[in-house]
Chain A
């Protein structure tokens, strides 16, 4: 295998590509293979294509780019791969190569938005005001399509949540996230209050920034590294770092692949559901009596596949007194996948319809829990009116608040 064909230091490595023995066990778990039946739209096929490039028999052309960009990067294949191929890493490498080989105006713009605009809180703030206005005017202004669905998927935006009271305890750094804080503020607020309650000292350093997942998934490694470096510095003094979006926590845990300095932050990162479930298990947070109400649990790919976390959200919801029902035992991606709904609206929509139908038929309840904002939006935009989609920690905090045994706040 010749290394010369690759342009970046982030390219798929020989070891990563060699790890695949082409057994095909990933195929049925891949949403895009399920949709198309195409080998080129399967993890094995994509790795074969990457290997073809490494061997010099496949060019990094439009077809290769589309083969890479059609991937949701849900990493469902990774979880079932007995050879433990780091597929998500290799895919990010391949996309970095595509970006380096084909600098186009469109991608340049996307890189700018994902690398500069979204991480900028000021701009996100202005955008949020605009969206509020749109929501008020009503989505009817937009034609039926991905944009309209996205708008429908957003929560009704509310006032900015209050910050935590700081107590003396282990220092937990909260990654507030680029959109999480503005658009899903209740989730961060719930996390802060729960950690407070458990005796943690929650810090939200002002110098933190977007985790960089969207940029890196789009092949924008330069921005990804810049954002990672900023977060490494911002959270240097934290004992533990948590993120309330599964996509962010998964990406933080992979910082060691981006920068050598990223390893420490990667090692001390937890998804919020992991930490809260642990605190419940330790008795630092309460288990509430059973309410008799059910909740359908949706597993975000970046929780279930990328981090192999499935029990934590269920334990949290059980502690909230709710009976959990699985939305999709197969764990197929909902189609949100970052900006995928914009780049591949049709595939995204099909997967969205699928998961919405499963979630709606799983139980009689209209309450659905999902631990990632993208998935939450995707679910909401594909479910009929009347469904509520919320983060498990939010639901848990609500149960605590409404429980007469625990007057806390």
Chain B
């Protein structure tokens, strides 16, 4: 074998199954060689960042697991440009801690666990602060990806505004590696607000708040997250009232054996929540239409899914206790086009084969 990547006998072999090879490429070229070989041998390949979103999608039975933990360098950070270039294996928590030293944030998920930047991009997840800063795909400026057949492909650029060629960075977000493993990306940064506050008000109360960082609602309360200048935050706190904490206190989603993400047009969310099983916990991102659900079973979720799909939304499984409930639901109508597009990047379909909606 020509691959120089470090091989490890991972402790999780039992989890992954016998005969599964694991590799830790430490350079982009190594990643390319690894995948070219995977294509040559048609090996089903799972890409592993922090493992935090492996619960999403159809199950992949890999012959090979590629870890990105050796591709974890911050390549370039220009604080005055408000951009950062990182390798895909950089841990979200590490990056945010680094950026915070200069009062900046990449607005990545607030409770990332061991998640990596590349993994979060591939899974297409966003943090709560998307209410102010937009979803993850609005903040990826450049991407370097290694395709299933081992090509190193770059798209976008390291500037905050760009329409030079097709927007590869955007379509890579949420593609679960099907268009390539994200080996590096350039992210748009934001200055951290100078002052913040978390207001807790009774659930269901209507408030008029201008561009909050987030508004999160659960069964017991609604929390409004504010950020800005001292006066701005102070004025809003005075105007809105409620119990106030002078920092951003993000909720933790309670652990259950099943977890879901319900995504619907924002104004339809309340109606769907009303029909949610009583034993399910949730966090509703008000104004966004994303509802994170934790439940002891998938009971009642099929009904919720059909309601969501009827309004153009989806209900996806983010953690499953068994294979008894379809992870995605009805695939999008452009499935054929999506399949062809993936074939242009991963002709032997080696990265996460069949994981996406429609088993593509």
A and B touch in the complex (CB under 8 A): no
Give me the interface of A with B, judged by CB distance under 8 Å.
Answer: none
